[in-house]
Structure 1
Amino acid sequence: QRLPRGVARPKEQPVMPDRRLLVIANPISGRGHAKRLLPHFAELASAADVEIEIKLTEHAGHGREIAANAAASGFDAVIAVGGDGTLNEVINGLGPHGLPMMVIPQGTGNVLAKEIRASRKVMDYIDAVKHWRVAKRDLGRLQDGRLFSCFVGAGFDGQCTRALAERDGAIHIAQYVPIMWKAIKHSDFRTLKVDAEDQQLDSVNYTLVSITPEYGGPMWLTGKAKPDDGRFDVLTVHERVTPLSLVKLVSFAMMRRMGHVNSTRFFRTKKVRVTADEEVPIQVDGDFAGFLPIEAEVLPNALSYFKR
C-alpha cells in the first residue's frame, strides 16, 4: 500500500525471542569436547527462536556462582554442559524449585544425564525448547544446604572419590579400576550408624542414600528407587568390603539383583542421618564431599528439567 507523499514508512521492529537461555559450560569436560559443542547453540537459538548466552566456568564452584544469578539476570532456563560435578554446581546455584535446566552430558559418569535420558547432541532439544517441555524430579538436601540429584554414599565409594580428587587433570574411566582396588585397603569402615524415621541400624560398613535406581554405568544399587516419589531409597551393607565381596556386590548390582545379597538391607524414608565413630569419607553425586556425619532430607519435585 502506497503512503501519502512526505509520509515515511515506519521501520519494522525486530521480533525479540520470547525466551532467554543461559549456557554454563565446563570447557575441559569430555577432554575439551564440551567447548567444541558451543557453536551448535547458535543453531539451537535460531531453530527454537530463543536467545542464548554462553558462559564458561573458570574454577571449581564457578558454575554455582553463575547459575545463582541466572534468574535475576532475566534468564528463563539454564543449559549445563559438563560432567556430574558441573551439573551439581548448577543445580546448587539454581536452588530448589529454581529455573528449569537442560543437561548436555560431557563427563565420565553422567549419572543424572542417563537417568533423564539426556542427549549429547544440542540439536536434539529443538522441540523441547520450542514447546517448553519440562518435567520434575526430586532433589536431596544435606544439613549444610548442599543439594544432590542422585545420591550420597558413605564408606567405600567416598574413599574412592577422595583418591580421585587428589589427582590432577581429567580422569579417564580406565583409571577408576586401580584407584578402586587401592581404596579397598583403606575402607574397612564398621562403625556407621544409620537413623531414619523408623529405622536404626548399627555396625554398617557402607550406605547409599539414593534418589535414582542407577548408580553409574551398568550398576543398579537401589533398583526400585523412583526419582519422583518424595522418598530416598537407602541401601546398607553389613559386611566388610574386600576384593571378593566387592566382586560379588558389583556382579549383583550389574544383574540388578542387589536385594538377593544377604548382607544388604533396603528401606525408604524422607529423612536420614548417618554418623560414625571414625573419619568416614562421603561422595555426593560422584564427587568427594568431605566426611560424616550427614543429615539428608528429600525435596519433592524440586528439580525442573527439559524432557526430550
Structure 2
Amino acid sequence: MKNRTVINIAEIAKRTLRLEAAAIDDLQQYINEDFEQAVDLIAQCGGRVVVSGIGKSAIIGQKIVATLNSTGTPSIFMHAADAIHGDLGMIQENDVILCISKSGNSPEIKVLVPLVKNFGNKLIAMVGNTGSFLAQEADILLNTSVSQEACPNNLAPTTSTTAQLAMGDALAVCLIEWHGFSAADFAKFHPGGTLGKKLYLKVGDLSRLHQAPKVLLNSTLKEIIVAISSGMLGVTAVLKDNGELAGIITDGDLRRMLEKNIPADSVTAAGIMSAHPKTIQEDELAINALEKMRQHDITQLLVLKDKRYIGIIHLHDLIREGII
C-alpha cells in the first residue's frame, strides 16, 4: 500500500481539478438545440420536474432538485430503484421526467424508462453515453459525456458527476432567467439562516427593538447624557422643535466636549451635535445598512420613515442577526 512519502498529494489534487475543470469546459459543445428544448419544456410544462437516477447520479439528482426548488422550478426526486416499487405514483400528468445516468444502461433505468413513456410524460435524459438505451429512448438528450474520470482507475464517478452537476446548474440558471426569478423571490424560499436574513430582514425590523433616544436643540448636557444612557446605544438624535431631524450626538462627541473644558451649564445639544447625520430608511434591507456603515466607518445609523426620525440601527444588531 502506498503512503504519502510515495505519492505526490498536491499534484494528484491539482490533476483532479484540472480534469474536472476541463470536463465542465467541454460541456459547452453540448449546449445545443436539445438543451434549449429542455429549458423550454420545463419552463412551460405546468407541472414539476421529476428527477431520477441510480447510484452517484441519484445523489447529483437530489442536489439538482434542491437547486431547482430554491430557484422557483418545482421539483421532486424519485429514486430509479424505488420507482418500480410504488414511487411511480408521485408522477403527475404535466410533470417532466429528468433521468440522470452515466452509462444509460443500468438495469433500473431500463425498467423505469418504458414505464415513464407509458405514462405519456416527456423524458429528458442527462447521460454520458449517447448510444445507450436511455439516450435512444429519451425525448430530449442532454449530453454529459466525459473523456475520463479523475479516478486513476477511470472507474469511480468523479469527472462524470461533476459534469452532471454543472449541467444541472446550467439548466437551473436558464430557468431563473426564463421566469425572471428575482432576489425578492429567492428570499421567499430562503427565510431561514444568514442568507435569508440578508434577503428579507429590513432596517425597521431591527430598529424597533430599541428605544429611539432624542433630545431637542436646546437640551442641556444632563438631558443629553440621560438620552444617550437610556438608549444604551451610545448615541441620540437631535430634533428641531417641529420634530424634524437636526443632528446626532454620540458618546464620542461628549468626550471631545469634555476635553475642551467647556462649562457644563453652557452646553446645549445644538452646540455639540453633528449637523449631517447618516441616515437610512426603515424599509431598506438590513444588509444595506451594513454597507453604509462600512462606507462611512461608523457603527450606527439614524432610521427614518420618510423624513421622520423613528429609531437607530446599530452594528451590534447586524452582528446579533448573523448578517456579518
The answer, yes or no, to whether TM exceeds 0.5 is no
TM-score by length of 2: 0.26
> Would you tell me which structure has more strand in proportion to its own residues?
1
Please state which structure has a larger fraction of its residues in helix: 2
Query: TM-score with structure 1 length normalisation?
Result: 0.27
